[in-house]
Amino acid sequence: MPERKPSTLISDMLKCIQHIQEYSSNISFNEFANNFMIIEACLYNIQIIVEAVSKLPEHIKENDPQVPCGH
């Protein structure tokens, strides 16, 4: 599989963040905590974010302190 451009990876991360916000907005913490489908959907998007970050080139992670690099 060809490597994806950093801009595509970042776009994927932003979409996942938007999805998490959509799933969890307008509900209380208790509603969130008691709805396994919302929890699983959020966790799925978090996993995509983690995978996308891991595929970012090292020079991007090293040059931007806001990108977690796993160190």
CA 22, distance to chain mean position in Å, is 13
In this predicted structure, the answer to whether residue 1 has a pLDDT above a threshold of 70 is: no
**What is the C-alpha separation between 48 and 3, in angstroms, rounded?**
15
Quote the tokens at residue 16: 């996942």
Residue predicted with more confidence, 68 or 24: 24
Q: What is the pLDDT of residues 13-61, one digit of tens each?
A: 999 999 999 999 999 999 999 999 999 999 999 999 999 999 998 888 7
pLDDT of residue 71: 44
Q: What is the pLDDT of residues 40-52, one digit of tens each?
A: 999 999 999 999 9
pLDDT of residue 59: 84
